[in-house]
Amino acid sequence: KAGVTQTPRYLIKTRGQQVTLSCSPISGHRSVSWYQQTPGQGLQFLFEYFSETQRNKGNFPGRFSGRQFSNSRSEMNVSTLELGDSALYLCASSTRARDSGNTIYFGEGSWLTVV
Amino acid sequence: SQQGEEDPQALSIQEGENATMNCSYKTSINNLQWYRQNSGRGLVHLILIRSNEREKHSGRLRVTLDTSKKSSSLLITASRAADTASYFCATDGPASKLTFGTGTRLQVTL
């Protein structure tokens, strides 16, 4: 069974540009979450999508947005990039099961560098 | 914001020794999960312990959970050089949102 797949793995953008990151969850997983990891702030929750609806949102500005498609694949977009957006962006998927413990699996991440 | 702290922040041991990492959290949880992260890579899921469980084993890993103290520990027995990584605990509450600890950097030397 394939794991969580994220593309691209590495990218460099210029301040003011926008970026779109893609995530394919594990087959059968309908919950997709996004996290930002930086040396200063650690791992921070961005948002979660389930059945194409945003279910939870972290404390990030509106420049950070996402969406989920009917096949559960998800994209996140960051507009008007700032230097501080340089980070490892991690996608995670799960079944959102309650009865057996909700194991959450992560992809390899997308390294974004803003110059 | 981080859910809590992990202790120690860094740990250096020799191959064959045991490594123990501790995690504290602040609010009530449904589950607590431990992850490993090799430098520059994604998070690898190690083990999930539910709030009504006290101890769980998986291979060389042993996790304990004390909800009265809001703390958990991860024990890696007979460490190997390949165990060198950062280890994170993460808690989830009513939603699927994970809140992570600050992580422990483990260095296992030959």
Nearest Cα neighbor of B5 from A61, A46, A42, A12 is: A42
CA B95 to CA B84: how far, in whole Å?
31
Q: H or E segment at A90? A: strand A87-94
| CB < 8 Å to B39, chain A | none
Q: What is the pLDDT of residue A95?
A: 87
CA B55 to CA B16: how far, in whole Å?
23
Taking an 8 Å cut-off on Cβ atoms, the answer to whether A104 and B2 are in contact is no
List, for residues A55-86, the tens digit of each pLDDT value.
999 999 999 999 999 999 999 999 999 999 99
CA B106 to CA B9: how far, in whole Å?
9
Q: What is the pLDDT of residue B1?
A: 46
List, for residues B60-93, the tens digit of each pLDDT value.
999 999 999 999 999 999 999 999 999 999 998 7
Q: Closest approach of chain B CAs to the CA of A45, in angstroms?
A: 7
Contact, A38 vs B86, CB < 8 A?
no
Nearest Cα neighbor of A6 from A18, A20, A24 is: A24
Q: H or E segment at B57? A: strand B55-58
| CB < 8 Å to A101, chain B | 31, 48, 50
